[in-house]
Amino acid sequence: MAAKREEAAEVLAQGEMTALARQHLVQPWPVAGEIGAEARGGIRSGEGIYVIDGEGRKLIDGPAGMWCVNAGHRRKELADVLYEQAMELSYNSPWYTMNEPSVTLSARLAGHAPGDLSHVFYTTGGSSAVETALRFMQFANNVRGRPEKKLIVSRQGGYHGSTYLSASLNGRPRDHDWMDSASDQVIKLTCPNPFRRPAGMDEAQFCDMLVEEFRDVIANRGAERIGAFIAEPVMASGGVIVPPYGYLSRMRALCSENDILFIADEVVTAFGRLGSVFASQEVFGIEPDMITFAKGVTSGYFPLGGVMISAQLLEDLRRSNHSEAMFAHGLTYSSHPIGCAVALKNLDILEGGLLAHARDVSDYFQSSLKRLEELPLVGEVRGLGLMACIECVADRVSNNPLTLDLEVGKRIDAHCQELGLLVRPLINMCVMSPPLTIERPQIDTMTDILHTSIRRTMDELV
């Protein structure tokens, strides 16, 4: 099929693609000096864990697109479902009708979700899922007669999306430097990054500090003003931050004690990335009040996201008997039949062996990458399941961050691409989250390429 496309007259040469992009495309996350005039590396096709770039080079897709191509590229069974569902019913209005794939998928997801998370509200991706969860919290508190209970607690380093309210939760400085946000509605706690914990503190003491900080915020701002706490179980774009042991369950307990909704943002951690459909309970032993998901739900074959909502929350609203209070929130593409049909097939793939495979290779993946710590530039390799981060430092004694202008992540990525691997550079870090189909020899190749690329980067920096 790729060969056919390449033969077709309308396939653009790399140079033409670059020229057209510079004239007509605005890419996500551009800097002002290049906005609307920028070209990025073109990708032509994908196959399993690989993508083929505009020059025909075959690269391991280290970040699985954007943490999403969990089942791997060019899966015929997913492509077939897209086609078949489009031929059966390509769209129906969720305003006044419903479709079978979305109802069936809801029941299957409820079967995997922790606690009483029995219902799903579908969106078009992760940002709209987070936005929906937050607007739902606001609505629920309005209906329940406590309109002042709306503050949202998030964490430094977190990432939750690019719509106005979801972006307001983001905790990386560059997310806010040039952008407006609803900062009066958000409180940000310390990033639970054990690698950056205060000197002299062990991990247990660090965890105590983080929990105490939340307790203090609740005491100072008042539980009656705080509506929700939102957390990625493992912070993804912040640099794959696995929180200290016990952190999530203790934060969950504080939320329960203070009637604060715990929203687990599982846009990255769900659908096999950590070896289970949802990670909250299976990996961390917590039952959130809502879970947001997207990305891996369709392995990126169709834009779909959603929020799992607790039966108790819905029951409370029904009991309020407020017939005029409407949750005035819905998207044209909520419950999209094609997205839901693809998600059902993707779940078949996960349940049919891919979850087990991800669990099987994840220790190997982590220990293989851990070898990179022997390189002096590498401060820490950390991760869980099939997500990992290599953090580079100025020196291994202080672990001080490198200056930003060195752009170490980008340098490593450039070397990796020459050698056949795409990585996701994040300032001084490289993030890895390959398709879950990856095998041990491919993990070895990935680590070898990273090893050589980091060595080359070190040579450049001296």
Could you list the residues that contact ligand PLP (CB under 6 A)?
A: 66, 125-127, 130, 159-162, 232, 236-237, 265, 267-268, 294
CA dist., res. 3 & res. 220, Å (int): 63
| Comparison of 112 and 160: residue with beta carbon closer to ligand PLP | 160
Considering the complex, state which of residue 61 and residue 232 has its C-beta at the smaller distance from ligand PLP. 232
> Smallest gap, in angstroms, from Cβ of residue 382 to ligand PLP?
17
Instruction: Compute, in degrees rounded to 10, the torsion defined by CA atoms 92, 94, 97, 100.
Output: 70
Please spell the DSSP secondary structure of 218-287, one letter per residue. HHHH-GGGEEEEEE-SSBSTTT-BPPPTTHHHHHHHHHHHTT-EEEEE-TTTTTTTTSSS-HHHHHH---
Least CB distance to ligand PLP at residue 266 (A): 8
- Determine the Cα–Cα distance for residues 119 and 123; give it in Å rounded to an integer: 13
Between 189 and 294, CB nearer to ligand PLP = 294
Residue 441 CB-density burial (10 A; 0-12 exposed, 13-18 middle, 19+ buried): exposed
Q: 227 or 300, CB closer to ligand PLP?
A: 300
Residues in the chain, overall count? 462
Q: Say how far residue 10 (Cα) sits from the centre of its chain.
A: 34
Nearer to ligand PLP, 114 or 126 (CB): 126
Closest CB to ligand PLP among residues 372, 391: 391
Nearer to ligand PLP, 159 or 301 (CB): 159
Query: What CA–CA distance (Å, rounded) separates 416 from 449?
Result: 6
Query: Which residue number is nearest to ligand PLP in terms of Cβ?
Result: 126
Rounded to an integer, what distance in angstroms lies between the CA atom of residue 400 and that of residue 70?
A: 34
Extract long-range pairs of 80-88: CB within 8 Å, 24+ residues apart.
81/341, 81/342, 81/344, 81/345, 82/301, 82/302, 82/338, 82/341, 82/342, 84/341, 85/337, 85/338, 85/341, 85/342, 86/338, 88/337
Distance of closest approach, residue 229 Cβ to ligand PLP, in angstroms:
15
Q: Taking the complex as a whole, how short is the minimal distance between the CB of residue 43 and ligand PLP, in angstroms? A: 18
**Do residues 269 and 236 make contact, with C-beta atoms less than 8 angstroms apart?**
yes
Min separation Cβ 80 and ligand PLP, Å: 24
Tokens 């505009």, residue located: 54
Q: Which is nearer to ligand PLP, 273 or 345 (CB)?
A: 273
Q: How far is the CB of 33 from ligand PLP (least distance, A)?
A: 24
Q: Which is nearer to ligand PLP, 102 or 237 (CB)?
A: 237
Q: Which is nearer to ligand PLP, 267 or 423 (CB)?
A: 267
**Among residues 404, 414, 408, 403, which one has the least CA distance to residue 391?**
408
Nearest CA-CA partner of 377 in 414, 432, 430, 418: 430
What's the closest the beta carbon of residue 441 comes to ligand PLP, in angstroms? 29
| Parallel/antiparallel/unpaired status of strands 58-61 and 421-422 | parallel
By C-beta, is 294 or 378 nearer to ligand PLP? 294
The residue among 134 and 393 lying less far from ligand PLP, judged by its C-beta, is: 134
Question: At its nearest, how many Å lie between ligand PLP and the CB of residue 305?
Answer: 6
Beta carbon of residue 300, minimum distance to ligand PLP (angstroms, whole number):
10
Residue 184, CA atoms < 13 Å, CB-side half-sphere: 1
CB of 155 to ligand PLP, least distance (A): 11
Cα dihedral 58, 272, 125, 183, rounded to 10, equals -110
Instruction: Report in angstroms how near the CB of residue 268 gets to ligand PLP at its nearest.
Output: 5
Cα separation values, 207 from 102, 162, 249, 383, 438, Å: 40, 29, 11, 18, 33
CB of 68: closest distance to ligand PLP in angstroms? 8
Are the CB atoms for 251 and 285 separated by under 8 Å?
no
Nearest to 214 by CA among 194, 233, 229, 202: 229
